[in-house]
Amino acid sequence: MKHDTVVNQFKRIGHIEDANILPTIGMEEPWRYRNKTQVPFGLANGDVVAGFYQKRSHEIIDMRHCLIQTEISDEIIHEMRGICRDLKLSPYNEESNTGILRHVIVRTGFKTDEIMVILVTRKEKIINMDRIVSRLLEKFPQIKVIAQNINPNVTNAILGEKTNIIYGEGYIYDEMNGIRFAISPRSFYQVNPVQTETLYSKAVEFAGLTGEEIVFDAYCGIGTITLFLAQHAKKVYGVEIIPEAIADANMNAKLNGFENTEFAVGKSEEVIPAWIEQGIVPDVIVVDPPRKGCDKTLLDTMLEAAPKRIVYVSCDSSTLARDIKILVDGG
């Protein structure tokens, strides 16, 4: 089904009839693969519920098990239900903007088994926070970080601006492809680490690196693809608009002893032309944009830079097809 979707979108949107769309690479074990769980808490008939929203509604459907999340995530969410009841931690009420606990987020390091729990609350001051922490740690000793994110706004955005580290050093660690990554509460880190290794290894393969290339990595996040590329390139330059992500990227490069990476905060369509003006000419450009695809200015910049190869990692094949058409038409 996915293969047919990509073929059709390349024909219909990209007007490319002869694209070589290779077979889809699926998972051997497509269950319990997510390393991040975000579950809203609320009240239904006077009792605490935690689960997911019913389609096209704001009603939370209570859930004990989710087969694409880790078992320990399910257990932590269930324990938080009991904590809400026992320690009078009131769940959030969306209609009246009352209550305290909005979401519980669980992040897991698949290779390290380290766990981070983030409690998203409406107010900063929480009664019994010390008892909440001790109860979680007693039941789940593999928890390395407990954080509190404060979101006082009437919004469907999960996270607020402020995050306090309640327990631990503020990071958990995970490994992919022999590279160690530090993950903070707000870090973007791909939610399916098994397929991420498959995906990024394929991106490196398509980049055709020999160890002599200069590579630009646009939308680099915390430097995941950058460090995969840096294992095989002369130098990799990463750019990302989120300052915290670049701080994490620098930390991850240092953590793994990479000295052939350089990161910049800013818009790809502004930073990359500045690099080229400085005389840094890319042999390969790798992009991994959000669902809306690449900014038109960035596509123009890539055409002007004329690298030997462009590797486009996409999470939406319709915007991929649109952008590929622009790149193909541009030469």
Provide, rounded to the nearest whole percent, the portion of the chain with pLDDT above 90: 92
> Do 228 and 299 fall into the same domain?
yes
Domain of residue 215 covers 2-27+188-329
> Do 76 and 122 fall into the same domain?
yes
Among residues 115, 135, 169, the one where a domain terminates is 169
Please give the tally of structural domains in the chain.
2
- Indicate whether 175 belongs to any domain: no
In CATH, what number is assigned to the domain containing residue 199? Answer: 3.40.50.150
Report residue 189's pLDDT band, with 50, 70 and 90 as the boundaries. Answer: confident
> Do 260 and 128 fall into the same domain?
no
Query: For 234-268, what is each residue's pLDDT tens digit?
Result: 999 999 998 988 999 999 999 999 999 999 999 99
- Indicate whether 182 belongs to any domain: no
Q: How far apart are CA 59 and CA 72, in angstroms?
A: 25
Sheet of 235-240, strand order:
261-265, 235-240, 214-218, 284-287, 309-312
Give me the residues paired with residue 60 across strands. Answer: 53
Active site residues: 315
> Do 241 and 304 fall into the same domain?
yes
Query: For 256-299, what is each residue's pLDDT tens digit?
Result: 999 999 999 999 989 999 999 999 999 999 999 999 999 999 99
265, burial (CB in 10 Å: exposed 0-12, middle 13-18, buried 19+): middle
- Indicate whether 289 belongs to any domain: yes
> Do 19 and 43 fall into the same domain?
no
- Indicate whether 205 belongs to any domain: yes
- Indicate whether 131 belongs to any domain: yes
pTM over 0.85: yes
- Indicate whether 320 belongs to any domain: yes
- Indicate whether 6 belongs to any domain: yes
Contacts of 205 (CB under 8 A, 6+ apart): none
> Do 50 and 127 fall into the same domain?
yes
Query: For 226-237, what is each residue's pLDDT tens digit?
Result: 999 999 999 999
> Do 43 and 23 fall into the same domain?
no
In CATH, what number is assigned to the domain containing residue 77? Answer: 2.40.50.1070
> Do 195 and 79 fall into the same domain?
no
